[in-house]
A and B are shown apart, each in its own frame.
Chain A
């Protein structure tokens, strides 16, 4: 019997399902409605979540604060925000805030440096401030100025004219919350003090009154000190001559963005390879082992 005959005989043999099975399946189809198709399945969720997570990660990586000298960083309380170069000092006069600003300028030569230092000191004095420290050396100078907070914008604008800006930074620390907390604590302590004063003056009561009074005075001093310190903004002025100034990296060509993008893609691919290759290998091994087990099972069956 040839292979063709074998095939013909096998093809001619039809196997029909018994009537009982046919009836069973028919009843199954009639009785049971297939459950509705789920819109949210784990596969779809993964397919959606993975790109979203990748996009979030990419956004975080690409938008994190840079250390570029032109970047303006404003710290507000514990939150840090990057602002564009356009100089806009966020001022909220009614709140107690500690202002700190750093301005890095480039001047032409040693003579300009010396003149700029003098003019900076004059600007601070004319605005009602003073120089907290001054360090001048060949090619660079570092001055710390204390300027009334209300005039910090004006001071900054005038100081910026002393040279070419190579870097600027503003730090604002909000202290109103701490002051408000202190005020609330003081009000509570005052009430307790009033109640104690209404009581008969025993030794224990006197001791408590003394303790409360000391605490209230301490809080008052702390608040006063904070408010006093916040009246002045700290301006750090870094001056340097052209030869000392940090070179500004602005000469990127039109393809720089593409190069950066390719670099990030390369890094991403490297990570994908580092994590993906072992996973693929594990998957292959598992697949081969499973297939061998099935083959072995079927060869014995």
Chain B
């Protein structure tokens, strides 16, 4: 049975990458990843290897942490927009991506980015990704196809 330290070592990049693509902000992803692993340590006794891999479990936790972040951000933005309009900033998703793909990814919604992150970046199969997202595998595949189609269109327009 894997220990928490082992799981953290093995899947830190995956969790961070997923959060970076999901939030579109590396600094936020760093904080959320740290929070995810703190929560994972607290809840490690609940992790059951028979029900899924540590990576899937960590991604599920990361998603919960990210959704909490989005909710608090939404509330904060609502408050701040009353005073002054907010300009959102994005950081790079990955160093090796072309600028065109970077901007195409930025045009996707967080929901679309997370499915791309899970299926493409983390290379999870449809069933596992669907479990992380809490949807059916068919729905997961549909979302991925839609996101990829949008990316393709955006790149076509940019070209």
Contact = CB atoms under 8 A, between A and B. Distances in A.
Contacts of A228: none
A47 interface: no
B142 interface: no
Contact of A28 (B37, B73, B156): B37
B152 A10 contact: no
Tell me the interface secondary structure of chain A in the complex.
helix
A37 to B, nearest CB: 4
A15 B95 CA distance: 8
A13 B114 contact: no
A147 B116 CA distance: 93
A218 to B, nearest CB: 71
A28 B33 CA distance: 12
A21 B121 contact: no
B109 A36 contact: no
Given A1-B156, A1-B159, A26 B8 contact: yes
Nearest to B134: A291
Nearest to A10: B120
Interface stretch (B14-22, B49-57, B79-87): B14-22
Given A6-B148, A18-B30, A30-B5, A38 B45 contact: yes
Nearest to A34: B44
Interface string A31-57: 010111110000000000000000000
B109 A301 contact: yes
B94 A15 contact: yes
Interface in B20-71: 20-21, 23, 26, 30, 33-34, 37-38, 41-42, 44-45, 67, 70-71
Q: Which of under 10, 10 to 19, 20 to 34, or 35 or more describes the interface residues of B?
A: 35 or more
A300 B77 CA distance: 12
A297 B155 contact: no
B110 A14 contact: no
Contact of B121 (A10, A37, A301): A10
Contacts of A10: 97, 101, 116, 120-121
Given A17-B16, A28-B8, A34-B4, A6 B45 contact: no
A282 interface: no
A14 B13 contact: yes
Contacts of B149: 3
Contacts of A258: none
A78 interface: no
Contacts of A298: 70, 109-111, 114
Nearest to A30: B5
Interface of B: 4-5, 8-9, 12-13, 15-17, 20-21, 23, 26, 30, 33-34, 37-38, 41-42, 44-45, 67, 70-71, 73-74, 93-98, 100-101, 109-111, 114, 116, 120-121, 123, 134-135, 148-149, 151-152, 155-156, 159
29 contacts: A2-B152, A3-B148, A6-B101, A9-B97, A10-B116, A11-B121, A11-B123, A13-B96, A13-B97, A15-B20, A17-B16, A20-B30, A21-B16, A21-B33, A25-B8, A25-B34, A28-B37, A28-B41, A29-B5, A29-B9, A34-B4, A34-B45, A36-B45, A37-B45, A291-B134, A297-B67, A298-B109, A298-B114, A301-B23
**9 nearest interchain CB pairs?**
A298-B111, A15-B17, A13-B94, A301-B110, A29-B5, A34-B44, A37-B45, A17-B16, A298-B110
